């Protein structure tokens, strides 16, 4: 996918949860544990959360995958409603057993859709308009949206940048940055093809959140 074409392709991006694949004893040649593809789930109709995050606390979301773990430190000051929604979804187990359904080598990895199609979501939307100065640099985590939705609109689908600068316009709500396990993210970012499809299954086995 060309970087300039991300918004159009993100039009197929929405959001959330699935039942899981089963890990097997052998490891894949890539270094990831080989797993079976989890079943796709249908549309969700979750209630919009009323959760708010404290500006005085640091919230870390750790995602354990079959390729290793990485931790996202949330930026609730820049995107208060979106970051709170992300924590809510993690607490509900929404991301558990979902896959990275789009992997674009040299650009981003994208997950958060229980249907695995790029069209699923939680049944509600939040909006945190990013500043015009927003930059999508290596390790930045932002939310995907359709091309027709206003800037900063989010459901549950998220992407992580795997290059120094993705060159995106400030249309996607930034929820934080990977502060641990960026090498895992970069490795996952190599497991895609020219069609932006994963060359092997990469599953979020479990997502957890901690606050301090």
Is the pTM value of this prediction over 0.75? Answer: yes
Inform me whether the pLDDT recorded for 32 exceeds 80.
Answer: yes
Residue-wise pLDDT tens digits, 158-206 = 999 999 999 999 999 999 999 999 999 999 999 999 999 999 999 999 9
Phi, psi of 4 (to 5 degrees): -65, -15
- Mean pLDDT rounded to a whole number for the chain: 86
**Confidence class for position 19, pLDDT limits 50, 70, 90:** very low
Write down the domain spans for the chain: 3-37+58-211
CATH number of 3-37+58-211: 2.40.100.10
Beta bridge partners of 208: 62
Per-residue pLDDT, averaged over 102-117, amounts to 95
Average pLDDT over residues 8-25: 35
E strand segments, 86-202: 98-99, 102-104, 108-111, 126-127, 140-143, 153-154, 158-161, 174-180
State both tokens at 186.
């970069």
Burial grade of 125 (CB within 10 A; 0-12, 13-18, 19 or more): buried
pLDDT given at position 42: 64
The structure tokens 């609730």 sit at 76
């Amino acid at each position: 996918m060309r970087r300039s074409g991300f918004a159009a392709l993100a039009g197929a991006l929405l959001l959330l949860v699935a039942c899981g694949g089963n890990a097997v004893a052998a490891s894949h040649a890539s270094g990831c544990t080989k797993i079976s593809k989890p079943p796709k789930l249908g549309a969700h109709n979750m209630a919009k959360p009323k959760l708010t995050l404290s500006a005085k606390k640091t919230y870390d979301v750790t995602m354990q995958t079959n390729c290793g773990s990485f931790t996202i430190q949330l930026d609730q000051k820049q995107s208060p409603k979106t970051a709170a929604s992300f924590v809510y979804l993690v607490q509900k187990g929404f991301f558990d057993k979902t896959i990275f359904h789009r992997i674009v080598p040299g650009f981003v990895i994208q997950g958060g859709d229980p249907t695995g199609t790029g069209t699923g979501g939680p049944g509600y939307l939040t909006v945190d308009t990013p500043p015009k100065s927003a930059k999508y640099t290596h390790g930045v985590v932002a939310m995907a949206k359709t091309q027709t939705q206003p800037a900063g609109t989010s459901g549950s689908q998220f992407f992580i940048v795997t290059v120094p600068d993705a060159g995106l316009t400030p249309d996607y709500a930034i929820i934080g940055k990977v502060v641990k396990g960026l090498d895992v993210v970069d490795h996952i970012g190599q497991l895609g093809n020219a069609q932006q499809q994963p060359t092997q299954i990469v599953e979020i086995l479990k997502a957890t959140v901690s606050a301090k």
